[in-house]
Amino acid sequence: MLKPGLISLLLIAYASLYANKTPDPFQPGKIITVTCRADAAQSYALYIPLKGNKEALPVIYCFDPHGDGALPLKKYRALAETYGFLLAGSNNSKNGNDWPTTENIWRNLSEDTRGRLKINGSRVYTCGFSGGAKVASYIALQHPGIAGVIAGGAGLPDGTTAGNFNFSFTAIGGEGDMNLTDLVAIDAGLDRTRTRHRIIIFDGKHEWAPESTMNIAFMGLQLDAIRGGLVPKDNAFIDRSVAKSKARVDMHTKTGALLKAGQECRLALSLFDGLTTETGWFQQKAAALDSNPQYQQQRQAQQALLEKEQISKSLLMQHFEDSDNSYWTTAISKLKTNAAAKTAEGAMNQRLLAYLSLAFYSLSNHLINSNENDAARHFVELYKMADPANSEAWYFSAILHARAHDTQATESDLLKAVENGFRDKPRLLKQPEFKNQSKPIDFYKIESRMQTP
């Protein structure tokens, strides 16, 4: 029989063992949701690399246009492991917020992460897509402590021109992104400044960049840190990166994609400047391309295509007041057919479709907010026709059906919105049109289809 003293010691030991096995709420290697201590209405997704946060780590704050903080973390968690970055994605920053709201969100996000995590204050970065890219740029412009910005699918805040920034600027755009021409213009503007900048173009549309493309952007931040003396020089890492860039130049050259070869040379010169003598190789390749007649022909063709794109936008704009859907049915169908081609013209048609999507979104949103339901229905139908995979088109459609007290059609459109990525539960539950329906909307069914972080 055990003595009382021994029993007490065993109980203490078991209690200690249980305490040591209590899960760490900030467990590395998992995407978690953190509520801000200063404001319980604000939260963010957080990813700590498997090596843990025992030492101060660089951090990238991510901004999704729909307030889905976990989305970029899911896409780039492997890169966080590769480069040892903390990732934090805001669940409150989204399209439609004004700048004072954005400031409040940033203050809570930055203060909360700095209070809970070990962050390398010299290596704080912002990254965003679409409207989130403008947020990422805005924060860097307003707060001197930001070392670099990754802007995907959009550039600087409206009204901001290229200047001598205290941060590096990496623009990322898909060849089918309607904002690609704007990103190219910003990059050209930054050529006339002292700002370290680069542009990365991938085969895609208006979307978060694939991991392989974002890897180059993350690599750029790491190389900037090496160049600035913030981390030790890693010659093996630099040599591997140079070799991959050279391989891309050679591949594009062999396949006759000389414009892409030239883009890669310019990107490499920004990435490796001051870090290796191999930059001379890229300079020689770029000079050879500039004097190549085939390259010059491709540049002229590209310029002609950009001019054609602007004319096409103007022609489409002239029909925004048309109430007859027959024109739009034909025009959108033709754009979709032409956009399927794996050519420069195919990419142009992708950009035109994306342009229509954004235009129909803006018109629909304005008309819905003005309670002009009949006109709104016209543009929402066009929105769904041009961009059927966009959750906002179906959400707008659900609002209009709810105003007509058609619960079945409302639920159907909300499920389509969820199917296409809608995840904003607070917005869903607060939407006034979805309340007090004669037949209640089955919110449980709709919410159950949403994926949780």
Tokens (6 digits) for 140: 């860097």
Are residues 191 and 324 both part of a single domain? no
Residue 138: the pLDDT is: 98
Lowest model confidence (mean pLDDT) among 24-33, 201-210, 213-222, 358-367 = 24-33
Choose among 206, 201, 212, 203: nearest CA to 267. 201
Give domain status of residue 249, yes or no. Answer: no
Q: pLDDT grade, residue 86 (50/70/90)?
A: very high
Final residue belonging to a domain, choices 200, 232, 264:
232
Q: pLDDT grade, residue 17 (50/70/90)?
A: very low
Tokens (6 digits) for 238: 């630099």
Are residues 86 and 207 both part of a single domain? yes
CATH code assigned at 389: 1.25.40
- Angle (nearest 5°) at CA 135 between 369 and 112: 110
Tokens (6 digits) for 86: 């903390």
Q: Per-residue b/e over 101-117, b at no fewer than 16 CB within 10 Å?
A: ebeebbebbbebbeeeb
The stretch 317-331 carries a mean pLDDT of: 86
**CA gap 452, 32 in Å, rounded:** 11
Are residues 224 and 338 both part of a single domain? no
Residue 16: the pLDDT is: 47
Choose among 412, 420, 407, 409: nearest CA to 446. 412
Tokens (6 digits) for 3: 């003595």
Are residues 153 and 31 both part of a single domain? yes
**CA gap 151, 317 in Å, rounded:** 27
Are residues 160 and 67 both part of a single domain? yes
Q: pLDDT grade, residue 19 (50/70/90)?
A: very low
Cβ-count burial of 39 within 10 angstroms (0-12 exposed, 13-18 middle, 19+ buried)?
Answer: middle
Q: pLDDT grade, residue 37 (50/70/90)?
A: very high
Tokens (6 digits) for 243: 């070799």
CATH code assigned at 95: 3.40.50.1820
Residue 11: the pLDDT is: 46
Residue 92: the pLDDT is: 95
Are residues 209 and 338 both part of a single domain? no
Are residues 180 and 91 both part of a single domain? yes
Phi, psi of 166 (to 5 degrees): -90, 15
Query: Could you give the residue ranges of the DSSP H alpha helices within 228-343?
Result: 235-254, 258-272, 279-290, 293-317, 325-339
Helices and strands, counts by H and E, the chain: 17, 8
**CA gap 87, 71 in Å, rounded:** 11
Final residue belonging to a domain, choices 204, 232, 260:
232
Q: List, as own/partner pairs, every contact residues 373-377 make where C-beta atoms lie below 8 angstroms and the sequence separation is at least 24, other chains included.
A: 373/400, 373/403, 373/404, 376/400
Are residues 82 and 223 both part of a single domain? yes
Are residues 309 and 439 both part of a single domain? yes
Are residues 184 and 325 both part of a single domain? no
**CA gap 439, 193 in Å, rounded:** 60
Give domain status of residue 293, yes or no. Answer: no
Give domain status of residue 294, yes or no. Answer: no
Are residues 348 and 218 both part of a single domain? no
Give domain status of residue 250, yes or no. Answer: no
Are residues 55 and 200 both part of a single domain? yes
Residue 339: how many other CB atoms lie within 10 Å: 19
Q: pLDDT grade, residue 18 (50/70/90)?
A: very low
- For β-strands 119-129 and 86-90, DSSP reports them as unpaired
Q: pLDDT grade, residue 4 (50/70/90)?
A: low
Residue 3: the pLDDT is: 54
Choose among 109, 112, 166: nearest CA to 132. 109
Give domain status of residue 296, yes or no. Answer: no
Give domain status of residue 387, yes or no. Answer: yes
Q: pLDDT grade, residue 26 (50/70/90)?
A: confident
- pLDDT tens digit sequence for 332-370: 999 999 999 989 899 999 999 999 999 999 999 999 999
Tokens (6 digits) for 440: 């209640």
Instruction: Kindly list the strands in the beta sheet with 168-174, ordered across the sheet, starting from the edge strand earlier in the chain.
Output: 31-35, 43-47, 86-90, 57-63, 119-129, 146-152, 168-174, 197-202
Give domain status of residue 350, yes or no. Answer: yes
Residue 438: the pLDDT is: 84
Residue 14: the pLDDT is: 44
**CA gap 210, 129 in Å, rounded:** 12
**CA gap 184, 201 in Å, rounded:** 10
Final residue belonging to a domain, choices 190, 213, 232:
232
The stretch 71-96 carries a mean pLDDT of: 96
Mean pLDDT of all residues belonging to the chain: 92
The stretch 422-440 carries a mean pLDDT of: 88
Domain that holds residue 435: 304-448
pTM: 0.85
Indicate the number of domains in the chain: 2
Give domain status of residue 243, yes or no. Answer: no
- pLDDT tens digit sequence for 213-260: 999 999 999 999 999 999 999 999 999 999 999 999 999 999 999 999
Residue 172's DSSP bridge partners are 152, 200
Percent helix, percent strand, percent coil in the chain, to nearest 5 = 55, 10, 30
